[in-house]
Amino acid sequence: MSDGFYITVGNKELGMLPGSMLALVVDLAIAEYGAYDYPQQSAAIENSVEVDAPAMGKNVNSI
């Protein structure tokens, strides 16, 4: 292990162990959100309905 490895959060430097724990917590939060959101999005796709609507006009703006 290197003594020079730090993660800076705000004005505070975190060493390897606290920085690793912070990264683990953030990664778990992201994974949990994905596990929570996936069934909702799957249900929304399964319950979708077809819509037949004409395109009334087209307008393309260039920047």
Domain contains 32: yes
What is the domain extent for residue 34?
A: 7-42
Q: How many domains does the chain fold into?
A: 1
**How does pLDDT run across 6-63, given as a tens digit for each residue?**
778 788 887 777 878 888 999 999 999 888 888 888 988 998 898 898 888 778 788 7
| 2 found inside a domain | no
The answer as to whether 22 is a domain residue is yes
Q: How distant, in Å, are the alpha carbons of 20, 25, 32, 43, 44 from that of 38?
A: 27, 20, 10, 9, 10
Please indicate, yes or no, if residue 1 is contained in any of the structural domains: no
What secondary structure does DSSP assign to 23-48, as a single string?
HHHHHHHHHHHHHHHHHHHHHHHHT-
Residue 49 lies in a domain: no
Report yes or no on 35 lying in a domain.
Answer: yes
**Residue 62 is assigned to a structural domain of this protein:** no
Does residue 63 fall inside a structural domain? no
- Token representation of residue 40: 């909702």
Can you tell me the distance from the alpha carbon of 14 to that of 6, in angstroms, rounded to the nearest whole number? 5
In this prediction the pTM is 0.49
